[in-house]
Amino acid sequence: MDKRTAVLKKMLKLWTLLVALAAVGPALAQTAPDELVRQISNDVIDSVKGDKAIQAGDVGRINALVDSKVMPYVNFQRMTASAVGRYWRSASPEQQARLQQEFKTLLVRTYSGALREVKDQIVQLKPMRSNPADAEVVVRTEVKGKGDPIQLDYRLEKAGDSWKIYDVNVMGVWLVDQYRNSFAQEIGSNGIDGLITKLTERNKAAASKG
Amino acid sequence: MNARGRLLSAALVLAFATAAGAAEGDAPDDVDAPAARQSDGQRADPWEPFNRKVFQFNDDLDEAIVKPVAKAYKALLPGFARTGVTNFFNNFADGWSAVNHLLQGKVASGMEMGRRFTWNSTFGVFGLIDMASEMGLERQSEDFGQTLGRWGFASGPFLVLPIFGASTVRDAIALPLDRSMTPGALVHGGSNRLAIFSLELTNTRADFLAATRLLDEIAFDRYSFVRDAYLARRRNLVYDGDPPELPEAPASAPAK
């Protein structure tokens, strides 16, 4: 091996290291909440576009997609707790875990219905008005395709160095608000276990229908 | 206005008067029922028993006639033809949206919707092809119910109308005017009107088949689900997607 090759190899190594650092750098630095939402949205849309099984409504694949691309950025415990409202504290840890599990299944089904409609949409961020120092922010986006643009907003909370989503607004309806009433009704008449049973039944019925 | 329209208006005026009376006599509900706190949706729905009956009637009508017809329509007509029908009705709505933008003082978006309407009516062959969207002029729908809301009219109680479905007193008052700007109302002759309205209804229902299937799967009680979503969405539309927070304390802060 002559000297020039050795120098070249060294330079190449250095170069690779620099590229690797450049790629990792932004991920390590704190991502702004709107940038995070943009990344997740684009990531999900691209995955759906490249996956025939998801477009056909394959629940297993959709679950895998949600678990890998979305759930790491969601505070699902907070989401469930807000939907259950003031009854959450009186639920045992086991009940809380069951509630989260069943609520997630229910929401993923809602989500998979929407994913099936993904074709040539793009997600656009709307200007943020929040203060950079805020611990909770709203990121507003619009899904543009055919017809009226679809409003899709997110509430995010600061979690250490990153941000986590804890509520979603679809066309003007906040998901947590939407479920809070029906959850409260069910708990009021049949208790927390009644709500768990109801959610489980709902999920089973939908799963058996395919 | 035809006889049914007059009847509807009379019923609405009556309903409005009752609502105004009821609102005046309302006691703060935390005094009335401290144990069972009402949700926003329930507070806005003093006529729930009546509304549920109409909701059930609409559901029965849907199961028996509207949905089967819409399914057949969807199976028979190719996609581009249904898109053409949707575009045609949307184009009329766009023209009316332009007027409502202007009535709300939103000149820029009003002009944009006006341009949509002109482009699609001419180059889009009477609205059958949505040329404007291809050119980047996007739809921003507004109806007279939203205009009334923007002018400061409260939505009033929730109201389920036969055939038209979820509404509020305010939106129901606006509805006759909104409907008068649709192709069905602008054409002459009762049977023509009925035919065009039936086409509009069938086509709209066909567009929503997937959505209502989803509704069955995710809602515990379809009535309250539809009610709460309708009220939230309309409020959101009145404020153009950015409504102020409701004064109620969020449930994430438990009372006890």
Q: Going residue by residue through chain B (256 aa), what tens digit of pLDDT does each one get?
A: 444 444 444 444 444 444 433 443 333 333 333 334 567 778 899 999 999 999 999 999 999 999 999 999 999 999 999 999 999 999 999 999 999 999 999 999 999 999 999 999 999 999 999 999 888 888 999 999 999 999 999 999 999 999 999 999 999 999 999 999 999 998 888 899 999 999 999 999 998 888 888 888 888 889 999 999 999 999 999 999 888 887 654 444 444 3
Are B120 and B94 within 8 A, CB to CB? Answer: yes
pLDDT at A122 over 60: yes
CA distance A140 to A128: 7
Say yes or no for a CB contact (<8 Å) between B130 and A146.
yes
pLDDT at A4 over 80: no
Cβ atoms within 10 Å of A181's Cβ, excluding its own? 23
What number is the average pLDDT over the span A21-48?
A: 77
State whether residue A3 sits within 8 Å of chain B by CB: no
Are B219 and A186 within 8 A, CB to CB? Answer: no
Question: Can you list the alpha helix ranges (DSSP code H) found in chain B?
Answer: 3-24, 29-32, 40-43, 48-61, 67-76, 79-103, 107-122, 131-134, 144-150, 169-180, 183-186, 190-207, 209-218, 222-238
Are A175 and A168 within 8 A, CB to CB? Answer: yes
Closest residue, chain A, to B235 (C-alpha): A172
DSSP-derived secondary structure letter, B102 = H
Which of B131, B252, B256 to probe by mutation at the A interface, max A CB count within 10 Å? Answer: B252
Say yes or no for a CB contact (<8 Å) between B139 and A171.
no
State whether residue A158 sits within 8 Å of chain B by CB: no
Q: Is the dihedral of CA A126, A130, A133, A137 positive or negative?
A: negative
Closest residue, chain B, to A78 (C-alpha): B252
Say yes or no for a CB contact (<8 Å) between B254 and A184.
no
Is ipTM strictly over 0.90? no
The two structure tokens encoding residue A181: 């009433």
Angle (CA) A116-A122-A126 rounded to 5° is 125
Q: Which residues of B touch A146 (CB under 8 A)?
A: 130, 133
Half-sphere exposure of A90 (CA within 13 A, CB side): 12
Are B27 and A172 within 8 A, CB to CB? Answer: no
Q: Which residues of A touch B140 (CB under 8 A)?
A: 148
Q: Based on the number of CB atoms within 10 Å of its own CB, is A197 exposed (0-12), middle (13-18) or buried (19 or more)?
A: middle
Cβ atoms within 10 Å of A157's Cβ, excluding its own? 16
Angle (CA) B147-B111-B197 rounded to 5° is 60
Task: Indicate the SS3 state at residue A74.
Answer: strand
pLDDT above 90 coverage of chain A, percent: 41
Q: Which residues of A touch B141 (CB under 8 A)?
A: 148
**Residue predicted with more confidence, A130 or B237:** B237
Region of poorest pLDDT, from A65-69, A79-83, A87-91: A65-69
State the count of interchain CB pairs (< 8 A) between A and B: 90
Distance from CA of A176 to the nearest CA of B (A): 10
Which of B101, B142, B220 to probe by mutation at the A interface, max A CB count within 10 Å? Answer: B220
pLDDT in tens, B90-131: 999 999 999 999 999 999 999 999 999 999 999 999 999 999
Say if pTM beats, i.e. exceeds, 0.90.
no
Closest residue, chain A, to B253 (C-alpha): A86
pLDDT for the residue numbered B27: 37
Which of A144, A181, A192, A204 to probe by mutation at the B interface, max B CB count within 10 Å? Answer: A181
